[in-house]
Each structure stands twice: as C-alpha cells, then as structure tokens.
Amino acid sequence: MSPLLVLLRRELALTWGRGGGPLPALAFYAGVTTLLPLAVGPQPERLAVIAPGLAWLALALASLLSLERLFERDFEDGALDLLALGEPPLEAVCAIKALAQWLATGLPLALAAPVAALMMGAPLALTPMIVACALVGGLAFAFVGGLGAALALGSRRGGVLIAVIVLPLFAPPVIFGGGALDLAARGLGGMSGLLLLCAWSAAAVALSPLAMAAACRNALD
Amino acid sequence: MISGLLVDNLTIRRGERTLFSGLGFSAAAGEAVALTGRNGAGKTSLLRAVAGLLRPAAGEVRFAGVEDAGEARARGLHLIGHHDGLKGGRTAREELTFAARWSGGTAADIDAAARALDLGRLLDLEVRKLSAGQRRRVALARLVAAPRPLWLLDEPLAPLDSLWRQRIGEVIAGHLAGGGILLAAVHDPLPVAARTVEIGA
C-alpha cells in the first residue's frame, strides 16, 4: 500500500479519535441553524429569503471546528517529525491531512446543508445547488483552514488564532457561493457563481499545501 | 543507500545562543557514534540537524552513497527522540503498523519487529496504558520494522531496564553488522562499541 494511502487511513481514524469525527461539527451546525431563525424573528417569508445564505455561512463557520488539532497533536507528540522524514514530500502529507479533514467534516456538512436550508424554508429546487456549493466550498474551507492550522502551530490558544487567520480567507468562497445560491433562488441558474467557487477551491487545493508545508517546516526548526 | 555520514564544520544556533560551532566528525558503515555532553549542550539539536529538521547556522551534513541529501533523508534514516510520535489513544499495534508502513516496512517486517522486541501482549493495549519502558520498546520497534541504514536515537535506553538495555544492544549490534550506522545521544555508555563525540566541550 502506498505511504500516502496509509497516511489517509490513519488521518481518518484519528479524526474519530480526536473527538467523534463529524459529530461535533454537525451538532454545531444544527445548533447554529436552529438559533438563526430565532434571531431573525417570527416571519417565515423573510427567513425563507435568507435561508440559503444563512445555511452557507453557518457551514463555513462549522468547518472551522476541529481544525486546531489537525497539526498541533502531531507536532506535540513528535509524529510530525516522522511525517516529515517519510518518502512523500511534506506538501503531499499536508494535502492528505486537509483532504482527510474534508472527508471527515466537509462531506457530512455538505449533506446536512440542504436539510438545514429546507428547515429554514428554502425552496426544495435549490437543493442541488446547495449541495454542490457545500461540497466544492468545503474543499476550499478544509485546505485554507489547514493553512491556518499550520501557521498557528506552537502558539497558545491556537484555535482563536486559526479563526482570525482563516476568516478573511473565507470571504471569496463565501461570496461566490452566496452569489450562486442567490442567482439560483431567483431562477437565474447560478452556474457562474458555482464555477468561480470551483476556481477558488482549485487554487486553494493547489497552493495551500505549499504554504502548509513551509509553515510546518518553520515550526519544526 | 547511505554508506557514511559526514558532519562538516557544523554550527547550531537557537535564537541568540550558539549551542556549538565548528563541530565535525564522520561515521562509516558499521560504526556507532555516542554523542555525549551536559544537558542542553545541543545533542538533540544535532540529531535534528542531521535529520534535516533543523537548519544549521553554518556547515553541512553530507551522506556518502547518496547524491542528494533530501533523498538520503527521505529513505535512509530513522529519528526517535523523547517525543516518540506515538498517539496515546491508539493501540500499540496501530501505531507500530503506521510508523513502519509509512517508513517503507512490510507486514513481515512488522511481525519480525514485534518478535524482536517481545511486544506480543502489548500490541493490543492503548499506548497510554504502557509503562515508559514498554512505550520506548514500541517506538524502537519501528527501527526493525522498516529497515533503514542510519539510526538517530535520542537517549534510546533511558527508560529501559538492564535486561532490555542488553536486548536493544543486540538489536543495535545486528544493525551495525549489516552495514548500518548509529548516532545516539546518551548519558550512559552504549551497550556496543562506539566512538564518543563530546558536544560543547
């Protein structure tokens, strides 16, 4: 079995060991999407208009959870040394870790997103677009989030620092995805927004492993 | 395959502090080098610099037998220190299997390592439930489970009892007899014939 496949299996096993796999993120997501309607007030029509956007934003926030332990634990117990001394380059190691993060939390969240949007009154016809945005955007959230986690290595209160680093970088995908959902809700397709989101995700997947690896090397030095 | 190690005029600085400067020594295939020196002299930093994890302020580390240092490190060395990379919440078997397969070991190698370090009953326990000595044996098992020529060990024997110090000595002797190289930071003498390099003398 190739070392990267071995690593992916370990990372997926660790996401469960790190604290219940997708469950905390899903629970957080359910909590936020339940609270939002309470804050907006008792007007289902108004809620239905903003439901897709709220579901999308809550998803971006939920994907911040559990990022803190992505590199920190391996850094503390010395496993990052082992990963840095393997045959695959550190960039590939970081990409696999971010991919595992997406598989463990991004995928389940993408399946939960349309349910949350429907609960808040979004039209059923919007479901495919919501799932597509959540799947593609989740990939960008995982890779950019991984970059934040690598940059925060070794700092105390890393979780807050990760959020501060990562939230500005979440702005473009949130805008593209929100735009796609808005256009789709008005019956104008929304493919342009989705394609922009795809482009952003592709750039995040291609570039952030380089930065993650550099940040890890810096932390190990 | 790495057939020799050359540390050339190495200087390591941590922040403003110079740990040591102008350090040079070499080790050929089959040789063991014991790094000694007081606490904080830079033994661990030297091991990490040889592994390429720490950038030296001056000088370089070269490997005989492999052109590219990065290539030599990616396939040719093991580094085991105080932070052994074992996850407390996973079983010893899971951790050993991952470390070995990640470093290029096969299932047969892993079985051989478990026998050599007598891990049989320990393998199904969570790492956090092991004693310090047992945990060190699980960490050291990856040396056998994924054969690589250069071993960089930081206080490998510290938590082990006298019986296991002797048994690890036999494992190390076997490694050296097969053309391997050992670089170990120690306070007590190694159980094999070794050249001593004092750091920060």
pLDDT in tens, A6-25: 999 999 998 877 567 788 88
Chosen for mutation from A1, A7, A8, A10 (greatest number of chain B CBs closer than 10 Å) is: A10
Q: Which residues of A touch B81 (CB under 8 A)?
A: 78, 81
A188 touching chain B per CB within 8 A: no
- Tell me the domain boundaries of chain A: 3-220
Q: Which residues of B touch A220 (CB under 8 A)?
A: 48, 53-54
| d(C-alpha A153, C-alpha A148), whole Å | 9
Asked if residue B191 is part of any domain, the answer here is yes
Shortest CA distance from A4: residue in chain B: B102
Asked if residue B122 is part of any domain, the answer here is no
Task: Provide the percentage of residues in chain B whose pLDDT is more than 70.
Answer: 100
| d(C-alpha A65, C-alpha A59), whole Å | 10
Task: State which residues form the domain around B81.
Answer: 4-88+148-198
Asked if residue B11 is part of any domain, the answer here is yes
ipTM: 0.93
pLDDT of residue B146: 94
pLDDT of residue B198: 92
φ, ψ of residue B4 to 5 degrees: the values are: 180, 155
pLDDT in tens, B37-96: 999 899 999 999 999 999 999 999 999 988 888 889 999 999 998 899 999 889 999 999
A76, A84, A86 member nearest B53 (Cβ):
A84
pLDDT of residue A1: 66
In which residue ranges of chain B is pLDDT below 50?
A: none
Half-sphere exposure of A111 (CA within 13 A, CB side): 10
| d(C-alpha A193, C-alpha A189), whole Å | 9
| d(C-alpha B45, C-alpha B60), whole Å | 14
What's the domain count of chain B? 1
| d(C-alpha B177, C-alpha A142), whole Å | 47
* Inter-CA distances, A212 with A62, A94, A95, A151, A206, Å: 21, 6, 8, 7, 11
Q: Comparing C-alpha atoms, which of A58, A95, A7, A53 is closest to residue A180?
A: A53
In which residue ranges of chain A is pLDDT below 50?
A: none
pTM for the structure as a whole = 0.92
pLDDT of residue A85: 93
Asked if residue B134 is part of any domain, the answer here is no
CATH number, domain containing residue B43: 3.40.50.300
The shortest C-alpha distance from A135 to chain B (Å) reads: 29
Q: Which amino acid is at B29?
A: A
Asked if residue B174 is part of any domain, the answer here is yes
Asked if residue B184 is part of any domain, the answer here is yes
Asked if residue B155 is part of any domain, the answer here is yes
pLDDT of residue A151: 93
A13, A79, A221 member nearest B55 (Cβ):
A221
